[in-house]
Structure 1
Amino acid sequence: MRRAIVMGGSFAGLLAARVLADHAEEVVILEPDGVAPDGLRRGAPHRHQLHALLSMGHTQLERWFPGISEELLLGGAHLGTGAAVRYYVDGVLKPRVPNSSMIGATRPFIEEHVRRRVFQLGNVTVEMARAHGLLLSGSRVRGVRMSGVEAPASAAHRELEAELVVDAMGRASRLNAWLLGNGWSPAPLERMKVDIGYATAYFQRGDELPDTVIAHASPGPATGYQQMLSEPGALVAVEGNRWSVVLVGYQDHRPGSDPEEFLRRMRRCVAPLREVAEQCEFDGDVETFRFRESQRRDFACLKHFPGGLVVVGDAVASVNPIYGQGLTLATLGASSLSAHLRSGASPQSPAWGYFRRVGVVVDAAWRLSAMGDLAQPHVTGPYPPGYRLIRWVSDRVVEASLTDPAVNKRFMDVVNMREHPRVLTSPQVLLRTARVLAKG
């Protein structure tokens, strides 16, 4: 194809541009948010909160940008493998997973390295511009109406034509309104109200916890998944010789921005967070963010959809960030787009193949996050069919994963998005779980 347009320079948008660079003569990223004084992209108000690049996300990132892991490590990021990645459930340290690897770094740091690599591609350009609508010819999209970010509201919109347009505008995407305005049905939107808040603070890092890169603590079956009985939180060793610490809570247990309160909650968490609270000094303020609901849009269920149009990232699905799936979902979405284009599908035809592929990835993330959220008494659905049985089986697998390395490996493969949640109900996992619990 001659030209592709990506509406939005988010993490998902950058990855989409990287994929499209293999298939288009020219890729144009429309960046509506501009660049902040620190050189980072504006937008994504939660970008300074702790973000996780799960093991599968790390693998996919290296696939699209060979050598980027080494670049990140040279810049100050940390690689966590084996015992350096510590997961706790109800305060119990889970068995280590030897072959798993995760990068310890902040989202702005990772995103800046990805942005640099994308902009080094000879056929990718960026325009500081805002999309205002789609150009359509019959049943396909042929481009975008746009204006410069500094242009007055009265300014005339410029038209930019393309064979493929990608919506990477995030949760606030206006695509459904644009489709409705042109006579197309919007994708159904599923919501799950979770009402969670989280707060992130940075600490100066010294000699404490020399063998830890990531420590994550969450409530589980033994406490009825109640946050008041098992304080949830995580810490990651990041660039700049710092610890990034996040605390989370639902409804009235949401963490605030008061540093003393933050330290008190850290002292109620697992040992690594307690140690940082006792030994390390704050490096900056406590920043908070509130996430009200998970969302996903099902494009694959539509009977009609214009050709030449693809949707990626949070514009497809945005799930509870406590599970750290967002960045990894973006990498898997990029691989779904690549598989679709490599299949020989015309970019000007409806992208059903892409939407089916990305739907599998989104469904996996949604199932995992929904099961955790539905354990909270204030979350009232929607419940999946057979929820009570699924919940009971899931709890037993979690219990077995606390002591059995084999069960924990399969469980963590799901957490790290290397496996679909359905593997946890496979006969092999269920039989192993039953044997472990019978011994205990």
Structure 2
Amino acid sequence: MRSAVVLGGSFAGLLAARVLSEYADEVVLVEPDPLDEDGTGPGAPHRGQLHAFLGMGHAQLEKLFPGITRELTDGGAHLGQGDAIRFYVDGRLKVPVPGIRMLGATRPFIERHVRRRVTALGNVRVERATARGLLFGPRRVLGARIAAHGEPETELTADLVVDAMGRSSRLGSWLAGAGWQAAPVDRMRVDLGYATARFARGGELPGTVIAHSMPGPRSGYLPTVIEPGALAAVEGDTWSVLLAGYADHKPGKDPAEFLARLKRCVAPFREVAEVCEPLGDVEPFTFAESRRRRYGDLTRFPAGLVVIGDALATVNPVYGQGLTLATLQAASLHAHLRSGARGGEPALRYFRTAGVFVDAAWELSTTADLAQPHVTGPYPRGYPVLKRVADGITEASVTDPEVNETYMRVLHMLERPRALTGPRVLYRTARTLLGG
């Protein structure tokens, strides 16, 4: 492959550029926002929020960038496992899972290290410009039209173009305008709000790297007593703390309100609120709906084009799947190119492989979202039965180590959701609920 163009320089675009660097003589990363002086670069509007790097995402990131875990922890990130990761349901601490590892670091910190690795590659260059459209031939995409700020449009020819433009991607309209099919879109409105604040980190909560708390079956998945949230020990001797809420219970940017809600959380959050100094402002963000574009369902699609990251799918961020999903899509692109594909045929195999991971994240998040009273569907067939089973597994996962291990492996995208309905898990769930 002579050349590849990646439209979008945030996390998913960086991963795509890293993969393509192994297969293309030149990779052009098109990004309109300038790099910051410290190299953090552009990012999604929610980049300041607390992000999770799940087990599978962490493993895939290490494959793409060998040694990056050590690099991140040397720079101040925290790697936790076992008792250092604390999950609460309805205010009760779940039994730990020894094999699960999670990284405590902010998204800008992770992106900065990834960006430095990518831009140091000899065949990757950054073009500071905005994507204006695609160049179409009779059967394929031939490149992209771009424009730097205040400059006329120019054309970049490429053997492969990657759409990494995020949720606001205009690819659907570009395809339709050229006579191609736009992908079907699945949506689920969740009406989520969340807010992140930083606190100085001292000797409180020794050994804790990640804590996560959510309402569960006993509270009807509503924050009736315990506020939902997450906290992580991150670089710079800092706690990054997130509070979440739906519909009329969204957190705002008022620091006093944030602290008051934090004191209604489980013990680790209360301790941070009571003894740690707040740093900076509270940053709120809203997320209206989960969205999945089903490119793998199309029968006609131009060659020389793939989609990655939020441009392909975004799911409810409270489950922390976004960064991990991007790394799994990058791994799917790697597998697609390694199989011999070079852009001459439509990348439907890539979309179907990536779709396996998207569908798993979608199934997990939307099934959980439907437990919220304000979420009105669409409901999958047999949902009442599915919900009763899911509630039972969630309840059993609080005290049963084996059920919780499977639960956490699914949450961390190390196994597919169907693992939760295996005979062994269902048997131990029933035994736990019956007091056996």
Is the TM value for this pair above 0.5? yes
User: Is 1:245 the counterpart of 2:244 in the alignment?
Assistant: no
AA partner of residue 257 (structure 1): K
Deviates more, 1:342-351 or 1:61-70: 342-351
AA partner of residue 151 (structure 1): G
- Secondary structure in 2 aligned to 1:306? coil
Deviates more, 1:173-182 or 1:337-346: 337-346
**Counterpart selection for 1:424 from 409, 420, 424:** 420
What aligned pairs does 1:161-240 form with structure 2 within 5 A after superposition? 161-240=157-236
**Which residue number corresponds to residue 304 of structure 1?**
300
TM-score normalised to structure 2 length: 0.98
Counterpart CA distance in 1 for 2:387 and 2:263 is 30
Unaligned runs of 5+ in 2: none
TM-score normalised to structure 1 length: 0.97
AA partner of residue 429 (structure 1): V
Counterpart CA distance in 2 for 1:230 and 1:374 is 20
AA partner of residue 98 (structure 1): P
In the TM superposition, what is the alpha-carbon distance from 1:436 to its structure 2 partner? 2.0
Counterpart CA distance in 1 for 2:265 and 2:368 is 19
Counterpart CA distance in 1 for 2:290 and 2:200 is 33
Conserved in 1, the CA contact under 8 Å of 2:215 and 2:223? yes
AA partner of residue 9 (structure 1): G
- Secondary structure in 2 aligned to 1:295? strand
User: Is 1:395 the counterpart of 2:394 in the alignment?
Assistant: no
Counterpart CA distance in 2 for 1:281 and 1:29 is 40
User: Is 1:370 the counterpart of 2:366 in the alignment?
Assistant: yes
Counterpart CA distance in 1 for 2:169 and 2:353 is 21
**Which residue number corresponds to residue 2 of structure 1?**
2
**Which residue number corresponds to residue 410 of structure 2?**
414
AA partner of residue 349 (structure 2): G
**Which residue number corresponds to residue 151 of structure 1?**
150
Conserved in 1, the CA contact under 8 Å of 2:396 and 2:403? yes
Counterpart CA distance in 2 for 1:151 and 1:326 is 33
Counterpart CA distance in 2 for 1:394 and 1:412 is 14
Deviates more, 1:304-313 or 1:116-125: 116-125
In the TM superposition, what is the alpha-carbon distance from 1:33 to its structure 2 partner? 2.2
Conserved in 2, the CA contact under 8 Å of 1:223 and 1:230? no
**Which residue number corresponds to residue 331 of structure 1?**
327
**Which residue number corresponds to residue 110 of structure 2?**
110
Unaligned runs of 5+ in 1: none
User: Is 1:279 the counterpart of 2:275 in the alignment?
Assistant: yes
AA partner of residue 375 (structure 2): V
In the TM superposition, what is the alpha-carbon distance from 1:260 to its structure 2 partner? 1.1
Counterpart CA distance in 2 for 1:24 and 1:229 is 55
**Which residue number corresponds to residue 42 of structure 2?**
42
Conserved in 1, the CA contact under 8 Å of 2:55 and 2:414? yes
Instruction: Give 4+ residue runs of structure 1 displaced > 4 Å after superposition.
Output: 36-39
Counterpart CA distance in 2 for 1:410 and 1:131 is 43
- Taking only the aligned residue pairs, the percentage that are identical comes to 64
AA partner of residue 115 (structure 2): R
In the TM superposition, what is the alpha-carbon distance from 1:38 to its structure 2 partner? 5.7
Deviates more, 1:9-18 or 1:32-41: 32-41
**Which residue number corresponds to residue 17 of structure 1?**
17
Q: Deviations over 1:373-429 (max 9, x none)?
A: 111111101111111111111111111111110000000001111111111111221
AA partner of residue 251 (structure 2): P
**Which residue number corresponds to residue 131 of structure 2?**
131
AA partner of residue 30 (structure 1): V
In the TM superposition, what is the alpha-carbon distance from 1:251 to its structure 2 partner? 1.0
Q: How many residues align?
A: 436
In the TM superposition, what is the alpha-carbon distance from 1:174 to its structure 2 partner? 0.4
User: Is 1:320 the counterpart of 2:319 in the alignment?
Assistant: no
**Which residue number corresponds to residue 405 of structure 1?**
401
Q: Deviations over 1:346-376 (max 9, x none)?
A: 3221001100011110011111110121111
- Secondary structure in 1 aligned to 2:296? coil
**Which residue number corresponds to residue 52 of structure 2?**
52
Counterpart CA distance in 2 for 1:16 and 1:428 is 38
AA partner of residue 48 (structure 1): G
In the TM superposition, what is the alpha-carbon distance from 1:43 to its structure 2 partner? 4.1
Q: Deviations over 1:265-294 (max 9, x none)?
A: 111101100010011010111110011111
**Which residue number corresponds to residue 100 of structure 1?**
100
Q: Deviations over 1:20-73 (max 9, x none)?
A: 111111111001222346643234111101000111111111010000000000
